[in-house]
Amino acid sequence: METLRVEFEPLIDERVRQFIINGIDYYSIAATGLPNYLPINFVLRADRGDVLGGLLGQLWGSWLQVTHLWITEGARGAGYGTRLVSDAEGYARSHGAIGATVETHSFQARPFYERLGYEVFARLDGYPPGHVRFYLRKALA
């Protein structure tokens, strides 16, 4: 048998990263029988096409998972975050989603998500030290 080794790769090659992610995804699909997966990505752009933020996520198992939401400081406070979340939820609903989930920290956007109808269902104190990580959900059906 070939000798295997573990290597630390802080700047991992995108193909290697995708190989690992696909392995998890294929296993999950086989275990659950739920093959439908959709990336859900909405981008906020200026008139010239400059990226000013966006929402990244996925739809799987009838749930929208928002993985990233960020807007450049100059575009904040104008309702774009709400629009990005609303558009993602609408897209997810149109594809059969029954709920949405997101994670945020105490120094990030918990009140924003709660204003949009998300509720905290779990918390992890001390992550990072002195802060809390919140796990939120929202019914979409």
User: What are the residues whose beta carbons fall under 8 Å from the beta carbon of 103, sequence distance 6 or more?
Assistant: 133, 134, 135, 136
- Name the CATH superfamily housing domain 38-139: Gcn5-related N-acetyltransferase (GNAT) (3.40.630.30)
Average pLDDT over residues 88-113: 97
Residue with tokens 């295997």: 4
Task: Please determine, for residue 36, whether its predicted confidence score (pLDDT) is greater than 90.
Answer: no
Please tell me the predicted confidence (pLDDT) of residue 1. Answer: 83
Task: Please determine, for residue 35, whether its predicted confidence score (pLDDT) is greater than 90.
Answer: no
pTM of the model: 0.89
Element (H, E) at 104: strand 99-105
Q: What are the structural domain ranges in the chain?
A: 38-139
